[in-house]
Structure 1
Amino acid sequence: MESSPQTVTGELVFREAAERDVPVLVALIESAYRGEASRVGWTTEADLLGGQRTDPEGVREVIDAPGSRLLVVERDGEAVACCQLEHRGEAAYFGMFAVRPQAQGGGLGKAVLAEAERAVRADWGAREMHMTVISVRDDLIAWYERRGYRRTGSMTPFPYGDERFGLPQRPDLQFELLVKPLG
């Protein structure tokens, strides 16, 4: 297998995920959002959702899907963040974003988001970035708003009953679409 193209920004290396990355990425994503380990960072969903955030099959689907990329972000050879980019016509979708809890709050997430926006503009000519965020995550939505995203009010129901998305701890969960023009 040929190595994936890499982009180096400062001390960070951005590259496309491969099959060999699946176990590391599942662990990274889980650590950022679920369980006690996630409480070290500020992006935890542990009070909203129990169970899993993703699984190996879900990560493989993103890696293998046409028009989709899963970026791995490494520092000193270790995966510290990841994000999904999906080509959707004139827009791109940003998802599966995770930053290792111990690395949160130091600008890493901001750097990953900026590189994702740059990549979809350069590679796909995307004019907008779209994402969905659980609507009650006010702190997370405010973080995205400070980076130019706007709430649209467009809501999608949370998939209650589908344990692949976690075990809801409250009855009012839904996803809100956030959008940013990429100029």
Structure 2
Amino acid sequence: MSTDNTHFRIATEDDTMVIRQLIESAFRAEDSRQGWVGNSDLASRFSMEDKAVASIITNPDSTFLMASDANGKLLGTIGVSKRAPDSARLFMLAVDPQCHRGGIGKQILTYAEDYCQREWGPKTLRLNALSNRESLISWYMRRGFRKTGETTPFPLEEFKDLNLPDDLHFVEFEKALGTTGDENPAM
């Protein structure tokens, strides 16, 4: 399936390494927008294992969706999973750093929402973001996601050598399907 010049497809096990590489480069990328990256030391340490990516791809209730240009160059990816009959989760939205600020993230997010609705028919989508990534949180809110009031702890013990805020956590978001968020960009 394609949107303008962006083509989408479901990942296969053969895509494992390229997805991992893209996610790592996207999460490690420096960005001059204040509050976008959050903590550059933490971002520079982000890594995944191929087996973690492969396990998502091979699980019947989850996958990665891939966005490519007309020449087949991978522009971005997002993980999707069915969590309950009425709920799905989006995770690890990653855009090639060379494509940042080009609207690819919005296209991928919109495609993922549509994919979940077609495949699983959930009433809500959930995702999370690190509490110190203020610009990303605002971006999700402009896309129609709202804070649930729930948080998930960040594993600070795994990064003891970094100077991270003691209250660092994941902020949980939810979106009722059928809304784009663009109608009311208020935060």
TM-score by length of 2: 0.84
Decide which of 6, 9, 12 is 2:3's aligned counterpart.
9
Moved over 6 A (4+): none
Q: Percent identity?
A: 34
Structure-2 residue corresponding to 1:67: 61
What corresponds to 2:172 in structure 1?
177
Unaligned runs of 5+ in 2: 179-187
Which residue among 77, 80, 93 is the counterpart of 1:82?
77
Say whether residues 1:108 and 2:99 are aligned partners.
no
| Cα 1:11–1:59 shift into 2, 3 Å | same
Pick from 90, 95, 103: which aligns with 2:91? 95
Q: How many residues align?
A: 172
1:19 paired residue among 13, 22, 31? 13
Verify the 8 A CA contact 1:95 1:131 in the aligned structure 2.
Answer: yes
Please point out which of 116, 140, 143 is paired with 2:139: 143
Shift of 1:59: 0.8
Equivalent residue, structure 1, for 2:40: 47
Task: Compute the TM-score of the two structures, normalised by the length of structure 1.
Answer: 0.85
**Matching residue's letter, 1:135:** S
Once the two structures are TM-superposed, the CA of residue 40 in structure 1 deviates from its matched residue by 5.0
- Contact kept in structure 1, 2:38 and 2:132, CA below 8 Å: no
Q: Which amino acid aligns with 1:117?
A: E
Q: Which runs of 5+ in 1 are unaligned?
A: 1-6
RMSD over equivalenced CA pairs, Å: 2.0
- The aligned residue for residue 123 of structure 1 is 119
